[in-house]
Amino acid sequence: AQTVTQSQPEMSVQEAETVTLSCTYDTSESDYYLFWYKQPPSRQMILVIRQEAYKQQNATENRFSVNFQKAAKSFSLKISDSQLGDAAMYFCAYRNSDKLIFGTGTRLQVFP
C-alpha cells in the first residue's frame, strides 16, 4: 500500500525568507503524481504544485518549487520569499489511480 510521510508537524519562517517542507512516500508503482496542497483556516484545500513522476524536471510555480528525488522517494516543497499569506497547513499527496493519499501535514507559520 502507498503511504505518505511528513515528518515536520510545524515549521516557521521569517517573512521574505525561504523555507523547505519535507515529504517522503512509499510506492511500488513507477507512474504516479505528487501534489502539495495548502489548507488555510477556511479548510479549503488549494493546489499549490504538482509533479508527474515520469518528468525529471522539477516543477515550479512562481515562488513555489519542488525537489523531486524519485529514487529516494522524496518530494520536498520550497517556498521562496515567504509571505504572511503563506501561513497554513501544507499537505503532501500521492496519486496513481482515482484517490489521493495524503500525509499528516505541516503547519507553516510566517513571522513578520
Partner 1 sequence: GAGVSQTPSNKVTEKGKYVELRCDPISGHTALYWYRQSLGQGPEFLIYFQGTGAADDSGLPNDRFFAVRPEGSVSTLKIQRTERGDSAVYLCASSLFGLSTDTQYFGPGTRLTVL
Which residue of 21, 59, 86, 103 would you call a contact of partner 1, by CB under 8 A? 103
Q: Residue 102 interacts with partner 1 (CB under 8 A)?
A: yes
Residues in contact with partner 1, counted by CB under 8 A, come to a total of: 25
**CB contact set of 7 (below 8 Å; sequence gap of 6+):** 22, 24
Q: Residue 98 interacts with partner 1 (CB under 8 A)?
A: yes
Burial class for 98, CB neighbours closer than 10 Å (0-12, 13-18, 19+): exposed
Q: Residue 49 interacts with partner 1 (CB under 8 A)?
A: no
User: How far apart are the C-alpha atoms of 34 and 8, rounded to whole Å?
Assistant: 18
Which positions lie near partner 1, rule CB under 8 A? 4, 32-33, 37, 42-47, 50, 52, 91, 93, 95-105
